[in-house]
Amino acid sequence: MSSSLTESVPLRYAPAIEQAIVEIAALLRGSYTLSERTLALLLLQRDPEIWEEVRLQETPATLERIRAVCERLHQQSEPPLAWQIEQQRQQRSQQIASIALFQAPHAVPKRTLSDLIGRLCTNPWTGFPILAMVLYFGLYQFVGVFGAGTVVDWLENGIFGQYINPFVERLVRSLVPWSAIQELLVGEYGIWTLGVTYAMALILPIVTFFFLMFALLEDTGYLPRLAMLIDRAFKWLGLNGRAVIPIVLGFGCDTMATVVTRIQETRRERILTTFLLTLAIPCSAQLGVVLALLAMHPKGLLIWAGVLVATFLLIGWLAARGLPGTPTPFYMELPPMRLPRLSNVLFKTLARLHWYFLEVFPLFLLASVLIWIGQLTRLFDIAVRGLTPVVQALGLPSDAAVAFLFGFFRRDYGAAGLYKLNEQGALTGNQLLIAAVVLTLFVPCVAQFLVTIKERGLRAALAMFVLALSIALLTGWVLAQVLGWLGVSV
Amino acid sequence: MRVCAFCGQELTQEGIEKACRGCGAFGGCHLIKCPTCGYEQPQEPRWLQKLAAWVRRRPPEPHLVRREGETTGEAEPPQRLPLTALRAGSTARIVHIVQDSEGHWRKLTALGVVPGAVVRLVQKFPSYVLQIGYSTLALDHQLTAQIEVEPLPTASEP
């Protein structure tokens, strides 16, 4: 760029504003990292952080005088000051752009393939079918069936189940004499057998495939279009299109999705999204087991999905009305559709995996330790006894209480426990369906719960826990009654 | 531009009104009179004007299109509409951004939605899609309604 531009006069505002800037700058005595002119401008625009900073460094008399200058200017300003400043900045930037950029006179933007695809993705007639296809192939087939099914099966039952775990188990049992410690390390829910195996053989492949898909979608520019398509529906839930990103991520891992709610603007939206994630969005691990569980009962699978969607919408709608505040408007830039670069996608996936492991891996180990303590102190037996009447009220065998309790530690373990019960022929189709619905809606897994405490605070996390628990049990009970009345058996 | 079919004189709204003033009829005749030669010719029906405009992809001539509740003859003040009132595919110049107390207008400004910019409304459902310069934005109804524009004639496609 030519030096004439960079050396040209700095941006000057309207005379009244300039005078106020000079007056305020002359009053400032403290030492700041920003220039006095910048400080004065921010003070005029009532920036809360800068006001706080200045309040700490200046005398009350000075503050009073600054405040007087601000008030005077604000009263004189029509249109509002912030608007004037913004306008003058925009004019200036356009002026600079007009010097620095030029457009070839008759360059008509070509209609490219990227434009066409972009248009197809945003047009409602073609956009929704494309959305359905992306979800089916990208999420269900690639992440669910291939990642969570084939690859997990090979790693968990093959590599870990046949080779690594028996070796570690023999090693620990031969080296450690105390059976309690043996249990802690390699018992049924041990640090190695549950924590490490679960994290490496189950979660790692699932999130790898999920992150890969997500990075691909992100780099094509599809996600903003998805947000734009879904915005109207999400408004109904008190959210806006932006919430689609954590919600879609939730199908991969709700724990990570809870962290991603940070992209939302207000606390209200973050709480709403976190709650919907806790309640109605099954993570990929859980999804995989539930799908396997209900695979023999296609009607049951349909009812399960229907109940889940209905709960998601109803509870979202109610929560949006119950929480104070208003939804924030939706705005997003739609970047052009691009062919993702493989290296970028891979780097992004690896970086996220690294981060994910650092955040979530210790929680799996913690879950193992908690289970170990619970079993050692017989706290679990008490909890199971407490859950048994509830489970029986849902028309389920009392053994299902154990599955529910463990559902808290591994969201899919609960479902896996049901799988065993099912193999023993202890459950009818209806019981299986009710158990699957309750387990999906049930409390978050321990990792998600801890992250929710970290992100939303203990009070909000506990409230969500209790609400999710009650809604899950209530929905299960209502479903059991409705199935009974209608005489439906799946 | 309209011309008299008989003498070829250019017809302006003032001219037509002046010529019509001398006529005893109270209107409703759907005829326009040439001020120069006095020839009366039928006025094109509105749908035909629209069709012609669509076929030629040129703006309908404003002095021949009468809108409801609007006087003719005077130079029209630029219309100011919320962007949501426009049809998909139309182009407009932004004249004003409504300043709300919550400062949502700042987001619009940051995205390049500023007075003076020319915007094309690409679609309206399920969300509004706007084209400004080389960038495309998706906005919801609330934000789009804050953008006040003055419609521009749709540019003819190359």
Residue B108 clears pLDDT 60, i.e. is over it: yes
CA distance A233 to B125: 12
Percent of chain B with pLDDT over 90: 26
Residue A228 and residue B111: Cβ atoms within 8 Å?
Answer: no
Residue located via tokens 């040209």: A8
Residue B83 clears pLDDT 90, i.e. is over it: yes
Name which of B104, B114, B137 is nearest A90 (Cβ-Cβ).
B114
Residue B158 clears pLDDT 50, i.e. is over it: no
Residue B135 and residue A80: Cβ atoms within 8 Å?
Answer: no
Residue B66 clears pLDDT 50, i.e. is over it: no
Name which of A86, A123, A335 is nearest B106 (Cβ-Cβ).
A86
Question: In a mutagenesis test of the A interface, which of B140, B142, B144, B156 is the best target, namely the one with the most A β-carbons within 10 Å?
Answer: B140
Mean pLDDT of B108-135: 89
Residue B1 clears pLDDT 60, i.e. is over it: no
Q: How far is A305 from chain B (nearest CA, A)?
A: 25
Looking at residue A203, the DSSP 8-state letter turns out to be I
The pairs formed by A396-402 with CB atoms below 8 angstroms and a separation of 24 or more are A396/A427, A396/A431, A396/A434, A396/A435, A397/A421, A397/A426, A397/A427, A397/A431, A399/A426, A400/A427, A400/A431, A400/A435
pLDDT tens for residues A302-331? 999 999 999 999 999 998 888 888 888 999
| Angle, in degrees to the nearest 10, between helices A48-57 and A60-76 | 150
Residue B64 — very low, low, confident or very high, per pLDDT cuts 50/70/90?
very low
Residue A473 and residue A390 in contact, taking contact as beta carbons nearer than 8 Å: yes
pLDDT tens for residues A233-280? 999 888 989 898 899 888 877 888 898 898 888 899 999 999 999 999
A368 against A166, higher pLDDT: A166
DSSP class per residue in A109-138: PP--HHHHHHHHHHSHHHHHHHHHHIIIII
Q: Is A254 helix (H, G, I), strand (E, B) or coil?
A: helix
Whether the CA torsion A112, A118, A119, A120 is positive or negative: it is: positive
User: According to the model, what pLDDT value does residue A187 have?
Assistant: 84
Residue B104 and residue A329: Cβ atoms within 8 Å?
Answer: yes
Residue A92 clears pLDDT 90, i.e. is over it: no
Mean pLDDT of B125-135: 90
Q: How far is CA A307 from CA A50, A310, A394, A429, A438, in A?
A: 50, 5, 16, 16, 10
Strands, E, within chain B: which ranges?
A: 2-3, 10-11, 31-33, 40-42, 81-82, 91-97, 118-123, 128-132, 135-139, 147-152
* Residue A79 preceded by cis peptide, ω within 30: yes
User: According to the model, what pLDDT value does residue A91 have?
Assistant: 84
Q: Is B118 helix (H, G, I), strand (E, B) or coil?
A: strand
Phi and psi at A159, nearest 5°, equal: -60, -55
Percent of chain B with pLDDT over 70: 77
Q: Nearest-CA residue of chain A relative to B142?
A: A329
Residue B65 — very low, low, confident or very high, per pLDDT cuts 50/70/90?
very low
Question: In a mutagenesis test of the A interface, which of B95, B123, B127, B130 is the best target, namely the one with the most A β-carbons within 10 Å?
Answer: B127
Residue A228 and residue B135: Cβ atoms within 8 Å?
Answer: no
Q: Among A359, A262, A264, A271, which residue's Cα sits nearest to residue A315?
A: A271
Burial of A332 from C-beta contacts in 10 A (0-12 / 13-18 / 19+):
buried
CA distance A232 to A251: 21
User: According to the model, what pLDDT value does residue A412 have?
Assistant: 64
Size of the A and B interface in Cβ pairs below 8 Å: 78
Strands B147-152 and B10-11: unpaired
Range from A10-19, A53-62, B59-68, B108-117 carrying the lowest mean pLDDT:
B59-68
Residue located via tokens 């500023």: B114
pTM to 2 decimals?
0.74
Residue A42 clears pLDDT 80, i.e. is over it: yes
Question: In a mutagenesis test of the A interface, which of B118, B136, B141, B148 is the best target, namely the one with the most A β-carbons within 10 Å?
Answer: B136
Residue A2 — very low, low, confident or very high, per pLDDT cuts 50/70/90?
very low
DSSP class per residue in A5-35: HHTSPPP---HHHHHHHHHHHHH--S--SS-
User: According to the model, what pLDDT value does residue A8 have?
Assistant: 59
Q: What rounded mean pLDDT belongs to chain B?
A: 77
Residue A232 and residue B104: Cβ atoms within 8 Å?
Answer: no
Residue A386 clears pLDDT 70, i.e. is over it: yes
Residue B64 and residue B49 in contact, taking contact as beta carbons nearer than 8 Å: yes
Residue B155 — very low, low, confident or very high, per pLDDT cuts 50/70/90?
low
User: According to the model, what pLDDT value does residue B31 have?
Assistant: 78
Residue B24 neighbours by CB distance under 10 Å:
4
Using CA atoms of A325, A256, A224, A140 in order, give the dihedral in degrees to the nearest 10.
-120
Residue type, A251: F
Residue B40 and residue B32 in contact, taking contact as beta carbons nearer than 8 Å: yes
Residue B119 clears pLDDT 90, i.e. is over it: yes
Residue A451 — very low, low, confident or very high, per pLDDT cuts 50/70/90?
confident
User: According to the model, what pLDDT value does residue A471 have?
Assistant: 94
| Residues of chain A numbered 335-354 and touching chain B (CB < 8 Å) | 335-336
Residue A82 — very low, low, confident or very high, per pLDDT cuts 50/70/90?
confident
Q: What rounded mean pLDDT belongs to chain A?
A: 86
Q: How far is B136 from chain A (nearest CA, A)?
A: 5
- Tell me: ipTM over 0.85: no
A221 against B53, higher pLDDT: A221
CA distance A368 to A193: 9
Residue B82 and residue B148 in contact, taking contact as beta carbons nearer than 8 Å: yes
Q: Over the range A87-106, which residues count as b (16 or more CB within 10 Å of their CB) and which as e?
A: beebeeeeeeeeeeeeeeee
Residue B138 and residue A118: Cβ atoms within 8 Å?
Answer: no
Residue type, B8: G
Q: How far is CA B71 from CA A368, B20, B66, B74, in A?
A: 81, 16, 8, 7
